[in-house]
Chains A and B, each alone.
Chain A
Amino acid sequence: MSKGTLPDAGRRAVVLGGTAAAATLAMPAISYGQSDAIRIGHLTPRTGFLGPLGEFAVQAVQLAAEEVNAAGGVNGRKIELLIEDSVNPQTGSAKAERLVQRDKVACIIGEISSATALGIAQVVQREKALFVNTGANSDALRGSDCQRFMFHTEAQNSMYVKTVGRSLLRDGLARGKKWHFMTADYAFGHDLSKVARRFAAENGAQVASEDLVPTDLTDFSPVLLKIRQGRPDVVVSNLAGNQITNFLKQYGEYGLRFPVAGFGFDTALAWGAGAGNFGGIWPVVWHHLIDTPGTKRFVSAFSAKYNRPPENQAWGDYCALKIMAQAMTETRGTDAMKIVEYLEKGAKFDILKSREGHFRQRDHQLMMEMYAITALPRGQEKNRWDIFTSSPPVPGPEESLEAIAATPEENTCTFRA
C-alpha cells in the first residue's frame, strides 16, 4: 500500500461511510418533518454512583411509552423517546438545552441527582419547557430553587424524613437518643441533613456527630471505626447511590450492632448489598410489594420484560410518563403553559398506590403516600428481591396527604413569572 493514496476498497468504504454519517446526522430533521410523534426527552445519570438507579429509570420510561403507544398514543400521536445520559450537572444542563432547542421535545422527564436537576430546572424555566423531576429529593428544588415549569413525582426530603421518622418515634429510636449522621457530600446530602436535623430538634433526638462522605468513597472502614468509637444510639444514613450499598456491606463486615436508619433510600442499593447485608429502617416512595392492582400490573409487566422486579426509581419514571400522557390528552396538545395550569388545578392521577396523587399548587410536589420498610432478619429473606417488610401507607387513610410534606414555613416556594 503506497502512502498518500487509499486502495480502492478503502476509498469506497470512506465514501460510503461518509454518506452514511451524513444521512444519520440529517435524520432528526427529516423524521421531525415527516412524523407527528410527540417527542419526550429522558435525561438521567446512567453512569457514576447513581447509574444503577438510572438504568431502572430508562427501562421503566421505555415500558411506559410502549404501553401508551400500544393503547393508541396521545390524541392519536405516538410518543417518541430521546434518551440521554445526564452524567453530571454541566453535561446535564447542556443536554437539556439541546433537547429543548434542537430536538424540540414536548417535555423532559428524569434526573436523580439534585445538583443536576437544579441545572435542568434553570434551562426549562428559561426555555418555557416542561420538566418532570423523577428522582431528585432535595427540598430546595421545591423551595428556594423552585420553578414554575418543574414538577416532582419524586418525594421531597421532608416526606422521606417524616415517613421514616414516625417509625423511629414508634420504636423509641428518636426521643432522647444520640444519632450519628453519615451524609453524602453534595447538594442532596446537605439538603437532607438540614431537613433531618430539623426533625431531630423537633422530636428530641440529638445529632451527636456527622461525617460528610464523598460520593466516590468506596471504603467505609474509617467512618465505621469512628462510629464504633462514638457509640451512637442510631446510625443514620443520609447517603446516596452506591454509597448505600458499600455502607451496608461493610457495616455487616465490621459486625457493628447499633440500629441503622436511613432518611433516603433506593431499593436497588439494598439488592446490590445482597440478602444478609441489608439491615435497618428506611423510607421509600414506592416498592414492588405494595398490594394494589396498579402496582401488581406494573411489576408483572416490568418483570416480564426485564427479568427483575422494578424498584422505586422505575416507578418514578413510569408514572411521570403516564402523567404527562394523561395531561397532554386532557389539554389536547403539548402546550407547556396549558399543561402547567392543568396540573396546578389539582388533576388526579393513578400512581399505583391506594390513593390517587395530585401536584400541590404552591410547590408542584406530587402529594402521595410513602412507606417505611424494615429489613428482614438474616436468613428470613424470601428471595433476592423480597428482603424487607413494609409499613402501611404513610400518611394513613384518614389523614391528609399533606401530613408528611414540608409546610410553607419549612420550605417556601415563590414562582418567578
Chain B
Amino acid sequence: MEFVFVLEQVLNGLLIGAYYLLIALGLSLIFSLGGIVNLAHGAFYAIGAYLAVVVAPYLGFGGAFVVSPLLVGALGLVVERFLLRRFYRGDPIYGLLLTFGLAMVAEQTLRMVFGAAPVPFAIPDMLRGQVFVGDFIYPVYRLTVLCVSALCVFGLWLLLTRTYFGRVVRAGVQDPDMVGALGISLKPYMTAVVVIAVGLAAVAGVMLAPITGVHPAMGAEILTFAFVVVVIGGLGSFWGVVAAAVIVGVVRGLAAYYAPAATEASIYLLMLLVLLLRPRGLFGERIAKFE
C-alpha cells in the first residue's frame, strides 16, 4: 500500500513540475538569446493572473485564457522595445538591475490597484470535479493544466526546431555575430522571443490563478522555483529545462510526503547537488558568449 501512496506523490509531482515549466522555458529563452536574466518574468505571470480576474466576468474563463496572454504579450513588446533592447550587449548586471526594478514596480502597482489581499478567482464550473484512476485521484482542472502545458511545450519545440524562425533563434543563441554577418538582424527575433516568453508566463498565470491565490507577490513566489528549474536543466537546453521541471516537481512532491517541513529546502539541495556534479546543469550546452 505504501508504494501506491509514493507513486501517487510521484505522479502528483509531475503536475507540480508543469506549473514551473512554462515560466522556466521563457526565462531560459530570453537569457539564451538576449543574455538578460529576466527577474521581471514573474511579474508578467502575476499580471497575467490579475488580467484574467479582470476580464473573466465579461469573457468567461475561456476568454480570459486567450485575452490575458495576448495583452501581456503586448506589454512584453513595449518593455522589450523601450527597455530590454538597450541591455542585450552590456554588462549583465544592468539587465539584472533593470528587471529587478521592473519586478518591484509591477508588484507594488498590483498592490496599489488591487490591494494586498488575495483576489478570489475560482475554477470554472465546467472543469470542476475529480477523475479517479484506480486508487488515484486527479482534479479535472489539474489534468487540464497539464495538457495545456504539454501542448505549449510541444508547440514551442516545433517552433524552435522545425521553422525558419527557430533556426535563426538557435543560431543567434550560439553565435550572434555570425548571424549578423549573414545579414540577419536579430532585433525582431528578440522582440518575438520576449513576446512569446512573457505570453507563456501569462498563460501559466491564468491557469494557476484558480489553484494558488491571486496576490501581488505571486510572481516573486514562482520565479525562484523557475530559476532553480533553469539552473538545474542547464542553459540553452530545451529538454534540459523540461526534464528539470519534472524532476523538481517529483522531488518536491516526495519531500512533501516524507518531510513536509523540508518541502522548499529539498529543491535547493537538489540544485546544489546537480551543480556540484554538473556545473552547467543537467543538459547545459557550452555557449561561447557566456563562458
- Taking Cβ atoms with an 8 Å cutoff, the residues of A that contact B are 46-48, 51-52, 54-56, 185, 211-214, 216-219, 221-223, 225-226, 228-229, 242, 245-246, 249-250, 253-255, 268-269, 271-277, 308, 384
Contact = CB atoms under 8 A, between A and B. Distances in A.
B137 A52 contact: no
Interface in B258-283: 260-261, 263-264
Given A222-B12, A273-B120, A275-B120, A52 B260 contact: no
Interface in B212-241: 212-213, 215-218, 221-222
B117 interface: yes
A223 B9 CA distance: 10
Nearest to A221: B12
A386 to B, nearest CB: 14
A54 B139 contact: no
Contact of A254 (B121, B130, B215, B221): B130
Contacts of A219: 16, 19, 211-212
Contact of B15 (A51, A216, A221, A308): A221
B2 to A, nearest CB: 10
Contacts of B221: 216, 218
Given A218-B213, A273-B120, 14 more contacts: A47-B217, A52-B115, A214-B263, A216-B264, A222-B256, A225-B5, A225-B257, A245-B213, A253-B128, A253-B210, A255-B129, A272-B118, A277-B120, A308-B115
Contact of B217 (A48, A211, A255, A268): A48
| Shortest 8 CB-CB contacts between residues of A and residues of B | A274-B120, A272-B118, A222-B256, A52-B117, A55-B116, A218-B212, A212-B261, A51-B116
Contacts of A52: 115-118, 215
A216 B8 CA distance: 23
B118 A213 contact: no
Nearest to B218: A218
A261 B246 CA distance: 34
Nearest to A47: B217
A254 B138 CA distance: 7
B123 interface: yes
| Interface residue SS majority, chain A | helix
A213 B260 contact: yes
A199 B275 CA distance: 48
A52 B217 CA distance: 10
Given A212-B261, A225-B12, A255-B129, A249 B116 contact: no
A250 B213 CA distance: 10
B61 interface: no
Nearest to B141: A253
Contacts of B142: 221, 253
Nearest to B139: A253
B122 interface: yes
A274 B117 contact: no
B209 to A, nearest CB: 10
B119 interface: yes
Contacts of B252: 222
B218 to A, nearest CB: 8
A225 B121 contact: no
Contact of A51 (B12, B128, B217, B253): B217
Interface in B93-134: 115-123, 128-130
Contacts of A54: 116
Given A249-B213, A254-B139, A269 B118 contact: yes
A47 B116 CA distance: 8
Given A52-B118, A52-B215, A214 B264 contact: yes
8 contacts: A55-B116, A185-B261, A222-B256, A249-B212, A250-B211, A272-B120, A273-B213, A274-B120
A222 B116 contact: no
A255 B118 contact: no
